[in-house]
Amino acid sequence: MRRHPLFFIFTAILIGKFIFTRSLLFEGFDFFQTLFVELCYLFILFGLVELIPSHKVKKMVYLFLDFVLTLLLTVILVYHNYFGYIVTIHAFSLLNQVGTIRDSVYQLFHPIYGVLYIDFIIILLLGLFNRKRAREHASKHNVRFALSVLLLGLVVSAVLVYSQKNVEIANSVTSAKKQGIITYEIFGVKNYLTNATNQFTAEELKQLPTIIEEVKETPPITEGERQYFGVAGGKNIIAIQMEAFQDFTLNLQVNGQPVTPFLNSLIKESVYFPNVYQQIGPGNTSDAEFIFNTSLYPAGMEATSETYGDRIIPSFPKLLKNKGYKSLTFHANDVTFWNRDNLYPALGFDQYFDIEFFGQKDVIGIGPSDEVLYTKAVSELQKLHDGQQKFFAHFITLSSHHPFQIPADKNTLVLPQQFDGNIVGDYLKAIHYTDQMLGKFVAQLKEAGMWDDTMLVLYGDHFGLQKSSLKEPELALLENLLGHDYHLLDQLNVPLMVTLGGDEQVSEMNETIGGQVDILPTLSNLLGLSLDNFVHFGQDLLNYPDNLFGMRYYMPSGSFFNNEIAYKPDEGFEDGEAYDTGTLQPVPNYSDYEEDYERIKEILQLSDRYLNSLPKKES
């Protein structure tokens, strides 16, 4: 230790940080497992550092590696706190997005995470590196020590990686626990690079629609046999993606006050789908936009808009363009957030409106309020309507974005005192405000004479309340409102409703199980659009009562929903968990559904290969 104090000091510091992080992330924490799966990588890194002859440079490199690994562990903890997923190292390429959602990040940073940074404070206070200058040149003994440590680290890590190279673990948390955080990150990079080159041949692409039909078991239905086919044909389309909007808030009352009074009334004149679930990946809101407009699964390990924003993507706007529609999207944030400035043209939108159009007045959270969003957009829609130009307008709301801070002067939901100062109360207020502004927007459409010519589509992008991030009193409040334990399926369940203005009004509650990939085919049926030779992974919920769809990222890869159960694997199929989608109760014997597990893995692979096969736009 006297000859190599920096090595032993920083090895102790970093292994302590890994132990601390793993104890927060994983149940059944094992000290010796941590040493085995994490220490070897520190030996490799620090063995290389020990070869540096300059003591001054060596100190700086140790500090740098300490900071980088500490930042990695912090990102993993913060992300897992809200999303329940062990994020891959690819997330560091998205750090430029943090500024936009900094309020959410601040709230998710638990004070206990500060333990990871204590060593930097100690180093600063004690002036650890202000001691007598060490020799500048490495002796043969020093080199021998460094090479021995490096060799030991390489051998152990090689054994670790080799033993796990063909092991498929669906659950990211289980994978990181068993393989080690660094090994998990290495496999994340490897899988990303491998998947990126997995494409279809031209001949395979021609057969893909038929293959999807066979795997999903959705044989074609003629137009004449379809329910509601073309009832909305020729109508303008307004689709509103409601930020962090969960289905349980509909028809929910607190002390006799409805949280969503406008939507409660709108349901009565709409086709309402109460059993639809989010399917987003790490791109979150932008992934929901992508799924809605393509009926494709998002990328599994990275934001789809970042990775595939440079492709030519078949889409809903492009289908509508063939029918004479102009497509616009309204999002009161910076269009460069999640690479939307490239995604929107790739999806075929003719025009987008972002923060430059909406301005900086009446900001709530990360952008102008929903009131500003709708009020300023109506005038643009009015121009098109008056010019008899059919349009598809896609709105992305912001005001109900985490951490759900609605100004007091805008809140009209009076909650009992126990809801003050906690995220459940804040969430309900944000949803109530969203509902109010939707009601105001529909009133504006009616006043402008646009309502009768409109098909209005409302859907949620993803959950707002993550069970693992709720404190015990908050969880108790929520479960008291629901009348049952807050279940994973409650969390992932988002609303979908379609309202037809005018004489074509259709109303029903359709309880078919569905995902966000199913929205485009369902709307296409209502509009009378043909999806022949259009590659899509969803199905028309109005005409296909049997469904099978997958989810990953917020559930382990290979998770699926069908008419009876929601299933999520752990390491594989046998050790997973299944729940009855009606009662939310565990299903102990789910062995009959293994075929669905294999089918959904194939579907996800087909979608990934299709994304990789999309041609790039010409620069």
CA–CA distance, 511 with 525 (Å, rounded to integer): 17
Catalytic-residue membership of 194: no
* 401 marked ligand binding residue: yes
* 285 marked ligand binding residue: yes
The SS3 call for residue 514 is: strand
**Active-site position among 11, 174, 249, 285:** 285
Q: Using an 8 Å Cβ cutoff, are 547 and 518 in contact?
A: yes
HSE on the CB side for 165, CA within 13 Å?
Answer: 8
Neighbours of 416 (CB within 10 A): 10
CA–CA distance, 469 with 81 (Å, rounded to integer): 6
What's the 3-state SS for 540-558?
CCCCCCCCEEEECCCCCCC
CA–CA distance, 286 with 292 (Å, rounded to integer): 10
CA–CA distance, 524 with 521 (Å, rounded to integer): 5
Dmax (CA) of the chain: 89
What tokens does 567 get?
Answer: 């299933």
CA–CA distance, 609 with 466 (Å, rounded to integer): 31
Choose among 397, 334, 386: nearest CA to 364.
Answer: 397
* 487 marked ligand binding residue: no
Structural Rg of the chain based on CA atoms = 26
CA–CA distance, 354 with 329 (Å, rounded to integer): 9
Amino acid letter, 15? I
* 354 marked ligand binding residue: no
Beta strands, E only, 398-488: 454-460
* 536 marked ligand binding residue: no
Binding-site sequence positions for Mn(2+): 243, 285, 461-462
Catalytic residue numbers, as ranges: 285
Binding-site sequence positions for substrate: 401
